Structure 1
Amino acid sequence: MTDHNYALSITWTGNTGEGTKTLRSYSRNHEVTGEGLATIAGSSDPSFRGDPTRWNPEQLYLASIAQCHMLWYLALAAKEGVTVLNYEDRATGHMIEEDNGAGQFESVTLHPEVTISSDSDALLAEELHTRVGDYCFIARSIQTPIYHRATIERAS
């Protein structure tokens, strides 16, 4: 077994002069930084008084799931002899909010559109999406059900 450790910094930049005196007295803006990485401008979802021009945690959660799925899918395809030429995903997530403000994602659906070489096995290419969950660190670490609605096309 190999251990991997990750570190990042979150800096709240939303003190508008009153701090958190009330729920409306401050901005939800913040920055996510990591050594040698570009800064991510973050906020909360606009539904929760956030800045719609900044990434929010819910979007980043969805992005991490979709990224991990894609990267493992590409690795499995390479190992199984499926040549992927193009991969695009339009991931969606459904979150519920309870009356007290707590909530959780009820589901995430990935919609990968994959183009494979003309000599690759389309059935195997589709089946590989179901194997990703056995490997993807993010999928293995969360409770949210992840569904796949893959489209596989052969290049002409």
Structure 2
Amino acid sequence: MVMTTHTYRTALSWSGSTGDYDSYDRTHEMKIGAAPLAVSADAAFRGDPELANPEQLLVAAASSCQLLSFLAVAALSGVEVVRYRDNAEGVLPEAERPLRLARILLRPRIVVRGATADRVERLLHKAHRQCYIANSLTSEITLEPSIEVR
């Protein structure tokens, strides 16, 4: 059996001057795929509050991976998912060292047909165990699902 190694590439660019710590621009551009994305530091760390920051990107990656893993598990199990929304949240407590996203809360709101809520929740947790991003992080990742069966 051939084992495949997957490589995921991004490109990042920034220009300016770090001559003054308090005032240098934290805005940078990240290219993920073909579309550029302007990114900055969190506003709490002197970044631009209007732009995405790396912490949000990590939370978004965890949320996206959970969604993709769940859809695959549900489809393979014959469960029809008709809607999935998530308002994810990452927590970086400054009192804890080293500074890191200590917790990520995923709040999937799922609408399905042809399955019980208990079965969907079991599939959701199975998907969580299979999520590449969750398996790559040391952050605590918690699921708070809401499931609607139609």
Is the Cα contact below 8 Å between 1:82 and 1:121 reproduced in 2? no
Q: Which amino acid aligns with 1:145?
A: E
Structure 1 residue 129, shift from structure 2 partner: 1.7
Residues 10-39 of structure 1, C-alpha deviation per residue, up to 9 Å, x if partnerless? Answer: 1014x1xxx11121241001000145x110
| 2:101 aligned residue (95, 101, 105) | 105
Residue 77 of structure 1 pairs with residue 78 of structure 2: no
Counterparts of 2:22 and 2:90 in 1: how far apart (Å)? 27
Sort the Cα spacing of 1:20 and 1:140 in 2 relative to 1 into closer, same or farther, 3 A. Answer: same
Residue 128 of structure 1 pairs with residue 123 of structure 2: yes
Match of 1:147 in 2: 142
Match of 1:7 in 2: 9
- TM-score (norm: length of structure 2): 0.92
Counterparts of 2:64 and 2:96 in 1: how far apart (Å)? 32
Structure 1 residue 8, shift from structure 2 partner: 1.5
User: Hey, which bits of structure 1, 4+ residues long, moved more than 6 A?
Assistant: none
Counterparts of 2:75 and 2:32 in 1: how far apart (Å)? 30
Question: SS of the residue aligned with 1:2?
Answer: coil
| Bigger mean CA offset, 22-31 vs 140-149 | 22-31
Is the Cα contact below 8 Å between 1:107 and 1:144 reproduced in 2? yes
Question: SS of the residue aligned with 1:103?
Answer: coil
Structure 1 residue 134, shift from structure 2 partner: 2.3
Residues 19-78 of structure 1, C-alpha deviation per residue, up to 9 Å, x if partnerless? Answer: 11121241001000145x110100000011111111000100100000000000000000
Q: Which amino acid aligns with 2:111?
A: T
Counterparts of 1:74 and 1:97 in 2: how far apart (Å)? 35
Is the Cα contact below 8 Å between 2:83 and 2:111 reproduced in 1? yes
Is the Cα contact below 8 Å between 2:70 and 2:128 reproduced in 1? no
Is the Cα contact below 8 Å between 1:111 and 1:148 reproduced in 2? yes
Question: SS of the residue aligned with 2:69?
Answer: helix
Count residues with an aligned counterpart: 148
Is the Cα contact below 8 Å between 2:101 and 2:139 reproduced in 1? yes
Sort the Cα spacing of 1:70 and 1:122 in 2 relative to 1 into closer, same or farther, 3 A. Answer: same
